[in-house]
Amino acid sequence: MVQNELSNYDFRTAGHSRTHHGHVMRDLGLRIVNGFYPENSILPGDAELLERFGVSRTVLREALKTLAAKGLIQPKAKIGTRVLERSNWNLFDPDILVWHFEAGASANFLSSIVEMRLALEPEAAGLAALRRTEAQLEKLYEWVEQMGSTREAPAHFVYSDLQFHIAIAEASGNPFMRSISALIEVALVTTFTISSPIPNSERHLYSVARHKAIADAIRDQDAAGAKEAMRGVIQDGAERVLAASGSDSDSGL
């Protein structure tokens, strides 16, 4: 049930798939990420792709240009379009992140996202404690209150949770912290399709309290406390998601 609700919330992929360009880009991008087209392989030629998708050459070229900009492919004259090695992929790109989850993200990939969040979000919370304005603090508590009133609507909980984390990035006063919100956004929304963020009333109350602790530390201008509270929230979510995903393949993505 939660997975269906959250898939409707995922506006990024929904928007892409409704256009010819988006459909071609998503299909090829997902096939690259899931290994159907392995690294260093050559994609089918234009004629084959045009027949498969039934689109114009212009649409196909635009889709390939977009994938190239994401670091997935590189066109080579007289050779074709080569799939680049994973080290070239822009893993901060929201589409590539979503495609990893659609393809079935491994425990290793999920752990890597958690490590990235732990490296960035506690620092953002610490900076927010020192730099936040009263208006920003008020907004944090508004999102906490929204989280508390969403027991029967997991998708609404996810939205409030996401806005809470984005508000902290903004309150940090560091524009680079705000720019990582795409990573946070995709990580939250897609991991919640693996495991419900609020499976029961007890868990719901616990999660809201943990987020309120972050807001309280930011209110008190307690940078160390805000960092620690944020680490706790991220680690709680990571343990739940990794347990739910099991070992769905320790190899792979």
Give the number of domains in the chain: 2
Does residue 117 sit within a domain? yes
124 and 177 part of one domain = yes
Q: Which of 43, 59, 88 is the last residue of a domain?
A: 88
- The per-residue pLDDT for 180 is 78
Note every long-range contact of 46-53, with CB atoms under 8 Å and residues 24 or more positions apart, other chains counting. Answer: 49/24, 53/20, 53/23, 53/24, 53/27
CATH code, domain with 127: 1.20.120.530
Residues 236 and 123 in one domain: yes
The answer to whether position 93 is within a domain reads: no
CA atoms of 94 and 13, how far apart (whole Å):
9
CATH number of the structural domain spanning residue 80: 1.10.10.10
Shared domain check, 191 and 143: yes
Is residue 191 included in any domain, yes or no?
A: yes
pLDDT of residue 13: 47
Residue 151, pLDDT score:
72
Q: Are residues 36 and 150 in the same domain?
A: no
In a domain, 251, yes or no: no
The span from the CA of 64 to the CA of 46, in Å, is 10
Same domain, 11 and 69: yes
In whole angstroms, give the CA distance from residue 101 to residue 223.
Answer: 33
Enclosing domain of residue 210 = 106-245
Q: Check whether residue 126 and residue 224 sit in a common domain.
A: yes
Q: What are the residues facing 83 on neighbouring strands?
A: 73
Identify whether residues 45 and 166 lie together within a single domain.
no
Q: Which of 88, 117, 140 is the last residue of a domain?
A: 88
Domain's final residue, options 59, 88, 117: 88
Q: Which residues of 118-137 are buried (b: 16+ CB within 10 A; e: fewer)?
A: eebbbbbbbbbbeebeeebb
In a domain, 129, yes or no: yes
**Residue 204: other Cβ atoms inside 10 A:** 20
For 166, residues 6+ apart whose C-beta sits below 8 A from its C-beta are 178, 181, 184, 185
Q: Are residues 237 and 169 in the same domain?
A: yes
Longest Cα pair distance anywhere in the chain, in angstroms? 63
Q: Tens-of-pLDDT digits for all 253 residues of the chain?
A: 333 344 344 444 444 567 899 999 999 999 999 999 999 999 999 999 999 999 999 999 999 999 999 999 999 988 999 999 999 999 888 899 889 888 887 888 888 888 989 999 999 999 999 999 999 999 999 999 999 997 767 778 888 998 999 999 999 999 988 887 777 777 777 667 666 667 788 888 999 999 999 999 999 999 999 999 999 999 988 888 777 766 444 444 5
Q: Are residues 83 and 110 in the same domain?
A: no
* pLDDT attached to residue 199: 72
Task: Establish if 170 belongs to a structural domain.
Answer: yes
